[in-house]
Amino acid sequence: MASLRTAVAGAAARKQVSRPGRAASAPRMGLVPSTQRLPLDEVIVGDCLAALDRLPPASVDLVFADPPYNLQLGEGSLLRPDQSAVDAVDDDWDQFASFEAYDTFTRAWLTACRRVMKPTATLWVIGSYHNIFRVGSALQDLGFWILNDIVWRKANPMPNFRGKRFTNAHETLIWASRSPQKGYTFHYEALKGGNEDLQMRSDWFIPLCTGEERLKGSDGRKVHPTQKPEALVARTLLSASNPGDVVLDPFFGTGTTGAVARRLGRRFIGIEREETYAAAARARIAAVEPLSTAALLTAPTKRAEPRVPFLSVIEAGHVRPGETLTDERRRFKALVRPDGTLAAGPATGSIHKIGALVQGFPACNGWTFWHVERAGKLVCIDDFRGTMRAGMRSA
């Protein structure tokens, strides 16, 4: 959560507030006029809204925002069972005069962010039950298109010491595009590959920021009360940006977004009101060792791969006309025809159409459904397509 505060009353939303994509190519500057310089890899100290106003329009690829949650516990100091005080969020930057004041501030910074986002940019915003519903409503009112809400399940949440409520064991991230149009970045295949070949779900089980990652001052106390884990921010950047992309964090705090962006080959712009936090962020980011270009290469999506029709697999000799294809469990069979279609009884059609027909399904991915026997073992026909694609890439 960012280090900022605003005493918003009517137009006062613009008062003292703060907070602060490809491996082998230069950053994608999109619609940024060549005469305007972006403050890349810098921490801007000052008012959040004023700093956003100075950025050129349509200049950033992704926004990660961790705004004030407006916690205002209002129940006095919070004590553990041993009567020691809980280090809760009671900073000035997290307090607002009313819900109306908070809503005014929220609309102001979201509007400012939307102006600097490229048409294909997306925005992530994180919050708790105290504020995320109000932020989500403002997003939709301003024309953003919500793509997902992500539940961050904390592996080690703070207990509910008073025993009057459920333990708050999660926070919510909203992922939204600038508008309903397509073209935003989403690395579906890469996320799936890193998740045991299963689709990445919208509930993420990630520990709180602890141990050496948690920044502490010379007095041993936390530098920032709501420092987010790098793993959480890294997953958002890996899913929705490319190496070289410009990532904006208008509530920079101690620089988690900047540290992750530097490690992952992204550029960042951070805005932070508190010089103490900004100084900690600069020192932290300076110590980050960027990953190599090879480590950051993104696997091509299946849609971006060269198109290889089944007929080409036959023409290349990987599968012969007259051979019989079967599914992995040998329940269904189909005859390969020389024109690249399959025959199952009187029916003929593509590998997808016949695969769906024999199963009684409305659709089927024939590439992964059909197999052919080789040396006593079944081989998926998609393996042959992969071999041909690899040859195309090397050529």
List, for residues 316-332, the tens digit of each pLDDT value: 999 999 999 999 999 99
Q: What is the pLDDT of residue 219?
A: 75
What is the average pLDDT across 144-156?
93
pLDDT over threshold 90, residue 58: yes
Q: Is 253 left (phi over 0), alpha (psi -120 to 50) or beta?
A: left
Q: What is the pLDDT of residue 5?
A: 37
pLDDT over threshold 70, residue 188: yes
Q: What is the pLDDT of residue 302?
A: 64
Q: How many of the other CB atoms lie within 10 Å of CB of 392? A: 12
Q: What is the pLDDT of residue 305?
A: 74
pLDDT over threshold 80, residue 33: no
What is the average pLDDT across 297-310?
76
Tokens linked to 7: 């005493």
How much is the pTM?
Answer: 0.68
What is the average pLDDT across 347-361?
97
- Antiparallel, parallel or unpaired: β 371-374 and 60-65: unpaired
Confidence grade of residue 70 (pLDDT, cut at 50, 70, 90):
confident
What is the average pLDDT across 206-218?
78
Q: Above pLDDT 70, what percent of the chain? A: 82
What is the average pLDDT across 177-190?
91
For residue 315, what is the enclosing H or E element? helix 310-315
pLDDT over threshold 90, residue 59: yes
Q: What is the pLDDT of residue 78?
A: 45
Confidence grade of residue 225 (pLDDT, cut at 50, 70, 90):
confident
Q: What is the pLDDT of residue 223?
A: 73
- Who contacts 18 (Cβ-Cβ below 8 Å, separation ≥6)? 2, 3, 4, 45, 46, 47, 48, 51, 93, 251, 271, 272, 273, 274
Confidence grade of residue 182 (pLDDT, cut at 50, 70, 90):
confident
Rounded to whole angstroms, how far apart are CA atoms 289 and 195?
Answer: 25
User: Where are any strands of DSSP class E within the chain?
Assistant: 42-45, 60-65, 117-127, 145-154, 170-177, 203-206, 246-249, 267-272, 324-326, 333-336, 342-344, 347-349, 371-374, 377-380
What is the average pLDDT across 195-216?
85
Q: What is the pLDDT of residue 222?
A: 77
What is the average pLDDT across 152-165?
79
Q: Above pLDDT 90, what percent of the chain? A: 63
Task: Provide the angle, in degrees to the nearest 10, between the axes of the packed helices 132-141 and 99-116.
Answer: 50
Tokens linked to 191: 């996320």
Q: What is the pLDDT of residue 273?
A: 92
Q: What is the pLDDT of residue 176?
A: 98
Q: What is the pLDDT of residue 395?
A: 66
Tokens linked to 172: 């919510």
Q: What is the pLDDT of residue 36?
A: 62
Q: What is the pLDDT of residue 106?
A: 96
